[in-house]
Structure 1
Amino acid sequence: MKLPPVRTGGREHARDVPYMRYGHTAVLLEDTIYIWGGRNDTEGACNVLYAFHYVSLPSSNTWLAMWFRCFHLVCPQLQPLEQYLLDNMPVCSPDTHRWFTPKISGTVPGARDGHSACILGKAMYIFGGYEERERERERERQIERERGRTPDRERAGERQIERERENAR
C-alpha cells in the first residue's frame, strides 16, 4: 500500500515534514521525539534523524499527519542529548513551525528499517534492522540461487565451516 503524501495546503515549509514510513524507531527525550530510519514504498529506506518538539503541538491536519506513526519504540530519557550519532537531523521548532538542521557529529549508520533504538547517557544507539545495501545483496544472491549457482558469500561460508571442521579433528 502506498502511503499518502503530507498535504501542504499552500504552506511550502510542510514539504520538510518527514515522510510517512514504517519500520522506523522513535525515542522520547525531554519534550522532543526523535524519529530515525524506516522506509516507505516511494522513498525507500531513510538514514535521516528527525526531531519533533511535541509540547506546543498546533492543531492542524499537516502537523497531525507528521505526528502519526505506527510500529515504533519510544524510550524516555531525562538527561540532555548533547551528542548525536547521525549527520543529518532536521529538528522542528514549535515556535516558528519550521524544520532546521542543527550541527551534529558522529558516524552515520546505513539507511535501514526494522531496527530499535534507545538513548543511554548522551548518545542514541541503533540496534539491528535491515540495511538497504544488504537487501540489494540478498536480491543478487537470490538471483544466483535461481540460476543454479551458489552465491560467493555462501561459498565463503561453506569454506569457513570446512576449515573449522578440519581444525576440530
Structure 2
Amino acid sequence: MDVHVLNTTTFRWTKHPVSDLPYFENDDILPYKRYGHTAVVYGDKVYIWGGRNDIASDGVLFCFDTTWHCWTAPKTTGNIPLPRDGHTACLWKHYMIIFGGYEEETDSFAESVYALDLKKMDWSYIRTEGKKVD
C-alpha cells in the first residue's frame, strides 16, 4: 500500500518511501489497497482500520511507523468491532474512536461507537448512553 505525504507549503503530494528492513515480528505485513477506511496519527505512527477492496471489508488494524517507514499489524484484544467501511474515526487522548460504517456481515449500517486504547491495543464498545472513557 503506497503512502503519500502532502507538503502543506507547496500543496504537492509525494510518495513516501517504505523500508524493506525487517521490523519486529511483522516484517512482511503490508495492507492491501482499500477504500472507506479511516486513519489517525498517534505519536510517530499512523493507524488505519477498516475499509474494503472489491472483495470484502477488513477489520485488521495496521500501523505505519513514520520513523522506521514500515507497516505492522499490531495484535489487538477486547471487544473488536466487526469489519466495516465508510465509518468515521478520530483521536481522543490515546484512543482511536470509531463510529458507524457499513458492516458487511450484518448487511446494515452500524450505529455503534468503539474505542481502541492505543497504549494497550485493547478495543472497548462504548454505549452511546454515556459510558465514560478515561
**Aligned residue in 2 for 1:45:** 57
Normalised TM-score (structure 1): 0.44
**Aligned residue in 2 for 1:75:** none
Letter in 1 for 2:45: T
Q: Which has the higher contact order (CA 8 A, sep 6+)?
A: 1
The CA distance in 1 between the partners of 2:91 and 2:104, in whole Å, is 24
Gaps of 5+ in 1: 1-10, 58-62, 64-91, 93-98, 139-169
**Aligned residue in 2 for 1:116:** 88
Instruction: Give the length in aligned residue pairs.
Output: 88
Normalised TM-score (structure 2): 0.54
**Aligned residue in 1 for 2:67:** 55
Classify 1:30/1:21 alpha carbon distance in 2 versus 1 (closer, same or farther; 3 Å): same
Greater strand percent: which structure? 2
Report the RMSD for the aligned CA atoms in angstroms.
3.2
Identical counterparts, % of pairs: 44
**Aligned residue in 1 for 2:45:** 32
Greater helix percent: which structure? 1
Gaps of 5+ in 2: 1-20, 110-134
Conservation of the 8 A alpha-carbon contact between 2:89 and 2:99? yes
Conservation of the 8 A alpha-carbon contact between 2:61 and 2:74? no
The CA distance in 2 between the partners of 1:14 and 1:29, in whole Å, is 21
Question: Which of 96, 99, 106 is matched with 1:127 structurally?
Answer: 99
